[in-house]
Amino acid sequence: MVRRGTLADGREIFHYFDVGSTPVPPAPDLRELPPVRVESEIRRDPLTGQWVAIAAHRQARTYRPPADLCPLCPSRPGSATEVPTSYDVVVFENRFPTFAPDVPGEVSPSRAPGRGRCEVVCFTPEHDGSFARLGPVRVRTVMEAWADRTSALGALPDVAQVFPFENRGAEIGVTLSHPHGQIYAYPFVTPRTEQMLSVAEDHLASTGRPLMGDVLAVERNGPRVIAESPYWTAFVPVAARWPVEVHVVPRRHVPDLPALSAEERADFAELYPAVLRRLDALYDKPLPYIAAWHQAPVRVGHDALWLFLEVFSVRRAADKLKYLAGSESGMGVWINDATPEDVARRLREVHN
């Protein structure tokens, strides 16, 4: 169940409730906030044809506040935050978004206003919690929020792709340590998705089969699987770019989160936290990671692309981080210091 509210500056907020909890109306936001003003734009790189977002107003966003000033914890007497009451899962419009619905400006082939939407997803009111420690009921609630917002954002006229993700850990660049993710609704199809769609469409045209289905058939019989369940498989990809990288893939071809069945969502809620606990156990401390949902764009690619979650980390050893060097940053050619087969073996052997 979801309840909609409005924050003091007019932004929307959505409360999602765990099965079995008692839904309560969102409390009013009594803060005095100036209106959100977004002046972002997108510019096309003439050398690559790719869009780049320019959002200078984000320089003023909140940066690593102390725990007692966390804007994602529930409000309490003397400390008003982005969330007026306690919550199970809450989603609200970002106050410092890269994209927003009503950005003014003219559209041209090389420049356009950054029209879209950016939302924050808080998984738990516990400031020191983590996704790995969420119970299956709460993960189901998060999945309902992801799917619901994917449908709602995909219906906006300027949105071409919806991207839910989580950044975790200061090493990744997280500026708010409270467990949370974001959802970006882009006004264009992202370069990574364009590339995967091109390859997937070529494969579908030549074989009549979705590419990820063939990848999954190979991986399920190989040495890189780290966990399986009735509806999902988690494995280290054969050409992993990052020192720790895992793909969590549904067995059935679905293009996006809304297309998952109730059984697939419930099964994911059991498997995924267990995968995250394996990642934390790899170096016996919380692993910094990005968890990125790859979905088909709003209007294209639903026959060719296959939903999956990519989880990757910059940690390459207990006391070392991977930095993108000249080959990766300058040419886009990745160099991995660990073999995917060895990483998969280590993840299977850890105790979580």
| DSSP 8-state code for residue 205 | H
The token duo for 30 is: 């009594």
Residue 351 annotated as binding site? no
In the numeric block, which tokens belong to residue 136? Answer: 């299956």
The answer to whether 70 is annotated as binding is yes
Query: How far, in Å, CA of 152 to CA of 351, rounded?
Result: 39
**In terms of C-beta density within 10 A (0-12 exposed, 13-18 middle, 19 or more buried), how is residue 185 classed?**
buried
- 118 appears as a binding residue in the annotation: no
Both tokens of 132, joined, read: 């790995």
Q: Which helix (H) or strand (E) holds 4?
A: strand 2-6
Pair of tokens at residue 270? 């059991």
Catalytic residues: 180
> CA–CA separation, 25 vs 268, rounded Å?
29
What residues pair up with 293 in beta bridges, in sequence order? 309
Find the helix or strand (DSSP H, E) in which 174 lies.
none
- Is residue 249 a contact partner of residue 232, using CB atoms and an 8 Å limit? yes
| 121 beta partners | 91, 181
Does the annotation place 122 within a ligand binding site? no
For residue 256, which of 290, 293, 231, 228 has the smallest C-alpha distance? Answer: 293
| Adjacent-strand bridge partners of 310 | 247, 292
Angstrom distance (rounded) from CA 225 to CA 219: 7
- Binding site membership: which residues? 70, 73, 127, 178
- Binding site membership for Zn(2+): which residues? 70, 73, 127, 178
